[in-house]
Amino acid sequence: METGHHHERSSSGPNGKAEKLPAAKLHAAGYLIALILAVLITGLWRLQVLNAESFRSLAEANRIRKVPILAPRGRLFDREGRLLVDNYPSVSCYLLREQVKDLDADLPLIAQGLHISVDQIHATLRHYEIAPKYQPIPLKQDITPDEQAFIAAHRDELPELETLDEQRRLYPRDGFAAHLIGYVGEVSEQMLDDPRYAFYSPGDVVGRSGVEETYDALLRGVDGSRDVIVNSHGKELGHLGQELAIPGKDLKLTIDLDIQRAAEKALEGKTGAIVAMDPHTGEILAMASRPTFDPNQFSVRLTKNYWNEILNNPDHPLLNKTIQAQLAPGSTFKIIMSFAGLQEGVAQTMHVQCNGGGTFYGQFHACDHAHGIVTINNAIPWSCDTFYYTLADRLGIDTIAKYATSLGISQKTGIDLPDEVAGTMPSTAWKLKTQHERWYPSEAISVGIGQGAVTVTPIQLARALSGIASGGVLRRPHVVFTDEVPPEMLQAIHETFPGSGDQTVPLATENWEIITDAMAQATTPGPFNTAFASHLEGIDFIGKTGTAQVMSHAALARSGGGMRTRPNSWFVGMAPRRNPDIVVAVLWENGDWGSNSAKLGAQIINAFVTKQRKHENNIRIATASEPAKPATAATNPPPTAAPSTE
Amino acid sequence: MPRLSSYRDFDWVLLGFVLLLSVISVLEIKSATLHTKFHGFDHKQIEFLAVGLVLMFIISLIDYHVLIDIIPWAVGISLISLVVVKLVGTKVLGARRWINLGHGVHFQPSEWVKLVLILAVARYFWGLSGRELTWPDIGKAFALVGIPMALVLIQPDLGTALTYFPILVMGLFLGGIRIKQVALILLALALVGGIAWKSGKRLKPYQQARINAFINPDSDPKGSGYQIRQSLIAVGSGGIWGKGTNRGTQTQGDFLPIPYTDFIFAAFCEEHGFVGAIGVLLLYFLILMRLIQNAQTASDLPGSFIIMGVVAVIIFQIAVNVGMVVGLMPVTGIPLPLLSYGGSSVLFTFLALGIVMNIRMSRFVN
């Protein structure tokens, strides 16, 4: 060491120079210290005095987390108050992206604990990339108790994971009424662009189909929230206040569970659709479509397999065929033809000689039988094609189109369900517009039997034919009782789903009687009567079958037959014959003869009538048990069910 | 020969200020560890303070000239201990800074070296007094501080290594370095710094990250930038009057990192506001001024040098630590003397104060 030579404790330095430090230097040091402290105080001033407010709110944002309290969705009941759709408590796992230091490092552990793949998490993260960072994003829904325990046990390592109690939809099993009820799912990006969904944010659960979609605003309720005090690990230290959720409104559907059950059962193993309606009001009593899907699979994140299964099914399980299948109506259209012909004063006087077909414009058009002389009264029950070829030729396409359109063909009915389709009614104007071609009178011939370009939906057919049976009064079909819905919302729904709605068309009483009587004859035993196989003893049951070819005779010959080449089988049935209480439209795709569908339709009508009779018997028995009138109950024979006999 | 020092000349005022800060320290450590697994550190701090006080009184009885006489030995031992700690020290967070002495006692040589360097620098410049500093003089001074500094730097412990630097600066300043020499040194440092910056990899990744985070705190929310952000939020949200003891949400909610050591001032600012912060800084000011006064009245040059060395270390640590807490300085991991929790820091401070006391008590000797 250089300085090792100092041992004397003298008051003078080794070189005998100054023994004191210059005061100026010590003062300078003092000033420097003061300056440093002043700078630090300036820093404190800037933070604590000038910007205290903004830092205070940052501190609050740090410690207070808004935890949503999800509103339970309104339940769905049938018309008699029987529960259709319920909720069940469920726990979901959310990811708090603000809480995470190195997400990629945590991913393998998260994936393992939640039993999902790292790729899946990446996909979720990408999906929510645009969402604000503070918003928790759902990693996995409906997690198991094991997975909940995993999250609780890893609070310190994985502070970014959070669980949230939710209510999840519990739908009927096996796709029962699935198309009618619909399902819920996360709001899609497309929907978020739609002004109707302006107040939704990504991750919100919304109705994506059926009643769930149409009445989402009523069903969803209003989410509440809880202000929770947390530490930096997301652990709850306490809570400040809360805003309770307002539960969604329970809705009563017009569906009758018993009729629905009959419809579902009738369609088992088939492809097609059944819709039943009260023609007086337009209330839908049953609505079933096949193949169906399981909405429960949609309310949790869909598995890829299930989605592929649905996508690859050629019969489109997601399609609600009662309002979305637009197919040639076949002979059911003859009721509309009869209505047009009678109202025009043409059909009453027609006597057509049926020799198993007829030649029009140089081309032979076949009929199933040689019916002989046919009038309007047996043309309907026999479904004589020759008669309707002739009637179509007499009326011309534009007259047919006028009457058909007045009954709602080629227009949506305005049912309160999303994605209804309109069907087609050809006319000269229609052909000019769509094909830029002139209409040839010969083309009207096949329209007369519901072939050619005319297509309808089962709901249209039910509404039109029951409208005729109701003396020209047509109703807007609906699945939710209108008094369940606030007027302004009802108005909005009518605007969202425009259609022919409530209408009255002129129908002369005698014409009304001709058509309904003829339709009644169709279901009674007799030669040529097309629907006699569906005859219901003791029930005033009327109907019309339809057998609509799915391809031309030539194409059929080439294809060599097979399931998909078989004609579509239609049936529209009602009871009682005039001012019916129920109408049912049945579509059985590739179901061959219309009489097959008629049997299905008869099952529905039977279920309805049987139920009504039981109901009335119950009332009568209740009356009978009253001691005041024992004699009356005993002497009067039990009245047969009101709708059955006329 | 027996020395005529007396406790009449003991600086009771200075001790009073120091104890006042120590009380504040204990209370804030208690508050900051209330809901954590470090609960009870306030009691340990009291123990450290008690040991520190005892050592202070003992050291104050030893003539500081004796310490100066044996300092070459101490320097040698220091260098050896720094090498030893690098070789066999306990590894904490990737750095070897501690020697395990058994029974849960850990010794951090770098803290003790600080004191040795203050004495060594005092002795060195005392030997040079009365003549102008030559370039070799300056070079040797740099070596005297630079070698232990380099050894601490490779532990790696940038923060403590940096605290050696003000000892050198103060020594050179009081030792009579000329403006021209300062300018040349600064130029050279700038050049070296520039080259180091260019070659980049000189700093550990976490040090690079800290500097980067200082430049852009939003880039790494949970890294070093997160610490600074949370510190700024804690300090700022304290406002003028603070949120009250045990009521700092940043401190109690564990948002503020290590609120009982490096970020204790942020915790204090949150709970006691601008007014409390000014009070603490005022106490530091009074302590430092009192020390400078003692340096002025010291009976000889080494006494003054020692005290000013202590002053240099304390003000440097205040500047860097408080500067970090209020966002004016990068995160370096330097504790705040007298406020931060930690035995080594407390012992350094009180040992240094013991020497200062002895210098003061010796002032009227002769």
- Model confidence over A244-266: pLDDT tens digits? 889 999 999 999 999 999 999 99
pLDDT band at B222 (very low <50, low <70, confident <90, very high): low
Asked if A436 reaches chain B (Cβ–Cβ under 8 Å), the answer is no
- Residue A583's φ and ψ, nearest 5 degrees, are -125, 140
**Alpha carbon of A90 to those of A94, B149, B184, B319: distances in Å?**
13, 60, 73, 54
Distance separating alpha carbons of residues A298 and A285, to the nearest angstrom: 25
3-state DSSP of A410-455: CCCCCCCCCCCCCCECCCHHHHHHHHCCCCCHHHHHHHCCCCCCCE
CATH architecture of the domain formed by A257-300+319-614: 3-Layer(aba) Sandwich (3.40)
Closest Cα in chain B, distance from residue A303 (Å):
35
Distance separating alpha carbons of residues B48 and B343, to the nearest angstrom: 5
Q: Which residue of B has its CA nearest to A38?
A: B281
Quick check: B127 and A17 CB within 8 A? no
Evaluate if residue B215 carries a pLDDT over 70: no
Q: Which of A89-93, A137-141, A224-228, A303-307 has the lowest mean pLDDT?
A: A303-307
Closest Cα in chain A, distance from residue B205 (Å):
16
Asked if A29 reaches chain B (Cβ–Cβ under 8 Å), the answer is yes
Out of A6, A43, A62, name the one closest to residue B326 (CB). Answer: A43
Q: Which of A29-43, A141-155, A456-470 has the lowest mean pLDDT?
A: A141-155
| Both structure tokens of A133 | 């960072």
Q: What pLDDT, on the 0 to 100 scale, is given for residue A13?
A: 44
Q: Which residue of A has its CA nearest to B144?
A: A1
More reliable by pLDDT, B309 or B153: B309
| Cβ atoms A280, A574 nearer than 8 A | no
pLDDT band at A618 (very low <50, low <70, confident <90, very high): low
Q: What pLDDT, on the 0 to 100 scale, is given for residue B257?
A: 83
Quick check: A29 and B311 CB within 8 A? yes
Domain ranges within chain A, ordered by starting residue: 65-252, 257-300+319-614
Q: Which residue of A has its CA nearest to B172?
A: A25
CA A216 centroid distance within chain:
11
Distance separating alpha carbons of residues A82 and B76, to the nearest angstrom: 93
| Cβ atoms B307, B349 nearer than 8 A | no
Evaluate if residue A203 carries a pLDDT over 80: no
Q: B288: which chain A residues are within 8 Å (Cβ-Cβ)?
A: 30, 33
Evaluate if residue A621 carries a pLDDT over 70: no
- pLDDT tens for each residue of A259-296: 999 999 999 999 999 999 999 999 999 999 999 999 88
More reliable by pLDDT, A199 or A504: A504
More reliable by pLDDT, A167 or B348: B348
**Alpha carbon of B168 to those of A109, A285, A624, B198: distances in Å?**
51, 95, 115, 26
Mean pLDDT within A64-88:
89
> What is the total residue count of chain B?
366
Asked if B268 reaches chain A (Cβ–Cβ under 8 Å), the answer is no
Q: A6: which chain B residues are within 8 Å (Cβ-Cβ)?
A: 68, 123, 126-127
Contacts of A440 (CB under 8 A, 6+ apart): A361
Evaluate if residue B295 carries a pLDDT over 50: yes
Q: Which residue of A has its CA nearest to B1?
A: A9
Evaluate if residue A94 carries a pLDDT over 50: yes
The CATH number of domain A65-252 is 3.30.1330.10? no
Tell me the whole-structure pTM to 2 decimals: 0.68
- pLDDT tens for each residue of A54-63: 999 998 888 8
- pLDDT tens for each residue of A432-487: 999 999 999 999 999 999 998 999 999 999 999 999 999 999 999 999 999 989 99
Out of B253, B278, B319, name the one closest to residue A41 (CB). Answer: B278
Quick check: B278 and A44 CB within 8 A? yes
More reliable by pLDDT, A119 or A617: A119
Q: Which of A1-15, A417-431, B44-58 has the lowest mean pLDDT?
A: A1-15
Q: DSSP characters for A54-108? A: HHHHHHHHHHEEEEEEPPPPPPEE-TTS-EEEEEEEEEEEEE-GGG-S-HHHHHH
**Both ends of chain A: CA-CA distance in Å?**
130
How many CA atoms does the CB half-sphere of A170 hold within 13 Å?
Answer: 11
Residue of B311, B338, B340 lying closest to B325 (CA atoms): B340
- pLDDT tens for each residue of B18-46: 999 999 999 999 999 987 888 889 999 99
Closest Cα in chain B, distance from residue A56 (Å):
4
Asked if B290 reaches chain A (Cβ–Cβ under 8 Å), the answer is no
Q: Which of A6, A40, A50, A56 to mutate to test the interface with B (most CBs of B within 10 A)?
A: A40
Residue of A460, A430, A209 lying closest to A327 (CA atoms): A460
Asked if A508 reaches chain B (Cβ–Cβ under 8 Å), the answer is no
Quick check: B253 and A17 CB within 8 A? no
Instruction: Report the mean per-residue pLDDT for chain B.
Output: 86
Asked if B265 reaches chain A (Cβ–Cβ under 8 Å), the answer is no
Q: What pLDDT, on the 0 to 100 scale, is given for residue A49?
A: 94
Residue of A603, A561, A536 lying closest to A270 (CA atoms): A603
- pLDDT tens for each residue of A336-365: 999 999 999 999 999 999 999 999 999 999
Cross-strand pairs, A91: A165
Q: What pLDDT, on the 0 to 100 scale, is given for residue B103?
A: 62
Cross-strand pairs, B365: none
Distance separating alpha carbons of residues A642 and B13, to the nearest angstrom: 110
pLDDT band at B365 (very low <50, low <70, confident <90, very high): low
Evaluate if residue A130 carries a pLDDT over 80: no
Pairing of strands A76-77, A251-252: parallel
Q: What pLDDT, on the 0 to 100 scale, is given for residue B159?
A: 81
Q: Which residue of A has its CA nearest to B230?
A: A59
Evaluate if residue B68 carries a pLDDT over 60: yes
Torsion-angle region of A390 (φ positive above 0: left; ψ -120 to 50: alpha; else: beta) = alpha
pLDDT band at B200 (very low <50, low <70, confident <90, very high): low
In 3-state terms, what secondary structure has residue A379? helix
Evaluate if residue A17 carries a pLDDT over 60: no
Asked if A236 reaches chain B (Cβ–Cβ under 8 Å), the answer is no
Q: What is the Rg, in whole angstroms, of the alpha carbon atoms belonging to chain B? A: 21
Closest Cα in chain B, distance from residue A28 (Å):
10
Mean pLDDT within A65-85:
89
Evaluate if residue A9 carries a pLDDT over 50: no
| Percent of chain A whose predicted confidence (pLDDT) is above 70 | 89
Distance separating alpha carbons of residues A573 and A534, to the nearest angstrom: 10
Q: Which of B75, B230, B326 to mutate to test the interface with A (most CBs of A within 10 A)?
A: B326
Mean pLDDT within A372-400:
94
Q: Which of residues 175-204 of B touch A (CB under 8 A)?
A: none
Distance separating alpha carbons of residues B345 and B48, to the nearest angstrom: 9
Other Cβ atoms closer than 10 A to B156? 18
Distance separating alpha carbons of residues A474 and A297, to the nearest angstrom: 37
Q: Which of residues 70-99 of A touch B (CB under 8 A)?
A: 98
| Both structure tokens of A232 | 């930096």
| Both structure tokens of A491 | 């108005």
Closest Cα in chain A, distance from residue B188 (Å):
24
pLDDT band at B105 (very low <50, low <70, confident <90, very high): low
Q: What pLDDT, on the 0 to 100 scale, is given for residue A67?
A: 79
Q: What pLDDT, on the 0 to 100 scale, is given for residue A557?
A: 66
Q: What pLDDT, on the 0 to 100 scale, is given for residue A626?
A: 41
Cross-strand pairs, A543: A573
Asked if A35 reaches chain B (Cβ–Cβ under 8 Å), the answer is no
Torsion-angle region of A641 (φ positive above 0: left; ψ -120 to 50: alpha; else: beta) = beta
What sections of B33-178 are H helices per DSSP?
Answer: 41-61, 64-88, 109-128, 135-153, 158-175
Evaluate if residue A642 carries a pLDDT over 60: no
Instruction: Report the mean per-residue pLDDT for chain A.
Output: 85
Q: Which of A33-42, A193-202, A303-312, B288-297 has the lowest mean pLDDT?
A: A193-202
pLDDT band at A639 (very low <50, low <70, confident <90, very high): very low
Q: B273: which chain A residues are within 8 Å (Cβ-Cβ)?
A: 48
Q: Which residue of B has its CA nearest to A31?
A: B289
Closest Cα in chain A, distance from residue B263 (Å):
14
Contacts of A251 (CB under 8 A, 6+ apart): A74, A75, A76, A77, A211, A215, A218, A219, A480, A484
Asked if A25 reaches chain B (Cβ–Cβ under 8 Å), the answer is yes
Residue of A230, A413, A454, A406 lying closest to A320 (CA atoms): A413
How many CA atoms does the CB half-sphere of A79 hold within 13 Å?
Answer: 18
Asked if B208 reaches chain A (Cβ–Cβ under 8 Å), the answer is no
Mean pLDDT within B183-206:
80
pLDDT band at A240 (very low <50, low <70, confident <90, very high): confident
More reliable by pLDDT, B24 or A645: B24
Asked if A55 reaches chain B (Cβ–Cβ under 8 Å), the answer is yes
pLDDT band at B101 (very low <50, low <70, confident <90, very high): low
| Cβ atoms A456, A408 nearer than 8 A | no
Q: What pLDDT, on the 0 to 100 scale, is given for residue A314?
A: 85
Sign for the CA dihedral angle at A468, A471, A477, A480 comes to negative
| Percent of chain A whose predicted confidence (pLDDT) is above 90 | 52
Q: What pLDDT, on the 0 to 100 scale, is given for residue A373?
A: 93
pLDDT band at B249 (very low <50, low <70, confident <90, very high): confident
Residue of A396, A457, A385 lying closest to A426 (CA atoms): A396
- pLDDT tens for each residue of A157-174: 888 888 888 888 899 988
Distance separating alpha carbons of residues B330 and B213, to the nearest angstrom: 8
3-state DSSP of A259-289: HHHHHHHHHCCCCEEEEEEECCCCEEEEEEE
Closest Cα in chain B, distance from residue A141 (Å):
28
Q: Which of A9-23, A309-323, A383-397, B337-351 has the lowest mean pLDDT?
A: A9-23
In 3-state terms, what secondary structure has residue A230? strand
- pLDDT tens for each residue of A394-429: 999 999 999 999 999 999 999 999 999 999 999 999
Q: Which residue of B has its CA nearest to A17?
A: B130
Burial B183-196, CB ≥16 within 10 A → b, else e? eeeeeeeeeeeeee
- pLDDT tens for each residue of A359-375: 999 999 999 899 999 99
Q: DSSP characters for B104-128? A: T-EE-HHHHHHHHHHHHHHHHHHHH
| Both structure tokens of B46 | 């009291």
- Chains A–B, number of C-beta pairs less than 8 Å apart: 181
Distance separating alpha carbons of residues A294 and A179, to the nearest angstrom: 10
Q: Which of A155-164, A369-378, B346-355 has the lowest mean pLDDT?
A: A155-164
Evaluate if residue A74 carries a pLDDT over 90: yes
Distance separating alpha carbons of residues B289 and A316, to the nearest angstrom: 88
Q: What pLDDT, on the 0 to 100 scale, is given for residue A104?
A: 82
Distance separating alpha carbons of residues B80 and B151, to the nearest angstrom: 10
Distance separating alpha carbons of residues B182 and B188, to the nearest angstrom: 10
Q: Which of A444-448, B247-251, B276-280 has the lowest mean pLDDT?
A: B247-251
> What is the total residue count of chain A?
646
Closest Cα in chain A, distance from residue B333 (Å):
18
Q: Which of A147-151, B3-7, B74-78 has the lowest mean pLDDT?
A: B3-7
Pairing of strands A582-588, A473-474: unpaired
Asked if B123 reaches chain A (Cβ–Cβ under 8 Å), the answer is yes
Q: A45: which chain B residues are within 8 Å (Cβ-Cβ)?
A: 274
More reliable by pLDDT, A544 or A623: A544
On the question of a cis peptide bond just before residue A22, with omega within 30 degrees of 0, the verdict is no
